[in-house]
């Protein structure tokens, strides 16, 4: 298995590509650990529970129509935004390697802007999996 130099990640939120605006992308995929310990057990027993997925990204603000600020501002709380992350780029028609990615429907939970005088205006965005209706 090859080691990946993290320099060509692709990030899409609701069809909008943010790759040229971000310099950090993180994807946390986890499962709850449920306690299945019963009387007589001498150690805890755990079972995997519900899964959760969360995206975090950091980048630099750009103002204007169809740019990062106009795309992310006001989307907090909006359901069913498709988030796609490709850690090593994406190649059209690829079935593996540079085309391997992750996608999920999400709710954007935050969009934060700020910084220090003399630096580029930065943003942080967070999106969490919205789940699947039963």
Per-residue model confidence as pLDDT tens digits over 32-56:
999 999 999 999 999 999 999 999 9
Q: What is the pTM of this model?
A: 0.81
Number of domains in the chain: 1
Evaluate whether residue 2 is within a structural domain.
Answer: no
In total, the chain counts a number of residues equal to 134
Evaluate whether residue 134 is within a structural domain.
Answer: no
Cα 94 to Cα 23: distance, rounded to the nearest angstrom: 24
Give the β-pairing of 22-35 and 122-129. unpaired
Per-residue model confidence as pLDDT tens digits over 52-80:
999 999 999 999 888 899 889 888 888 88
Evaluate whether residue 4 is within a structural domain.
Answer: no
The pLDDT of residue 110 is above 80: yes
The pLDDT of residue 133 is above 70: no
What residues contact residue 72 under an 8 Å CB cut-off, 6+ apart?
13, 108, 111, 123, 125
Evaluate whether residue 1 is within a structural domain.
Answer: no
Instruction: CATH number of the domain at 56, please.
Output: 2.40.30.200
The pLDDT of residue 7 is above 60: yes
Cα 60 to Cα 120: distance, rounded to the nearest angstrom: 7
Could you tell me if 122 and 61 are in contact, meaning their C-beta atoms sit under 8 angstroms apart?
yes
Task: Categorize the per-residue pLDDT at 8 as very low, low, confident or very high, splitting at 50, 70 and 90.
Answer: confident
Give pLDDT, residue 53. 93
Range of the domain at 18: 10-129
Cα 82 to Cα 129: distance, rounded to the nearest angstrom: 9
Give pLDDT, residue 94. 61
- Percent of the chain having pLDDT more than 90? 60
Cα 69 to Cα 119: distance, rounded to the nearest angstrom: 17
The pLDDT of residue 115 is above 60: yes
- Cα distances (angstroms) measured from residue 50 to each of 35, 85, 90, 120: 13, 22, 29, 39
């Amino acid at each position: 298995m090859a080691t990946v130099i993290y320099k060509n990640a692709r990030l899409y939120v609701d069809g909008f590509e943010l790759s040229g605006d971000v310099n950090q992308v993180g994807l946390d995929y986890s499962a709850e650990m449920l306690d299945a310990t019963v009387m007589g057990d001498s150690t805890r027993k755990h079972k995997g529970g519900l899964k959760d997925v969360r995206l975090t990204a950091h980048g630099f603000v750009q103002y204007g129509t169809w740019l990062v600020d106009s795309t992310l501002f006001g989307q907090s709380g909006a359901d069913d935004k498709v988030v796609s992350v490709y850690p090593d780029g994406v190649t059209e028609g690829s079935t593996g390697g540079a085309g391997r990615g992750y996608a999920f429907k999400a709710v954007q939970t935050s969009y934060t802007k700020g910084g220090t005088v003399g630096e580029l205006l930065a943003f942080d965005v967070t999106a969490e999996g919205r789940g699947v209706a039963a």
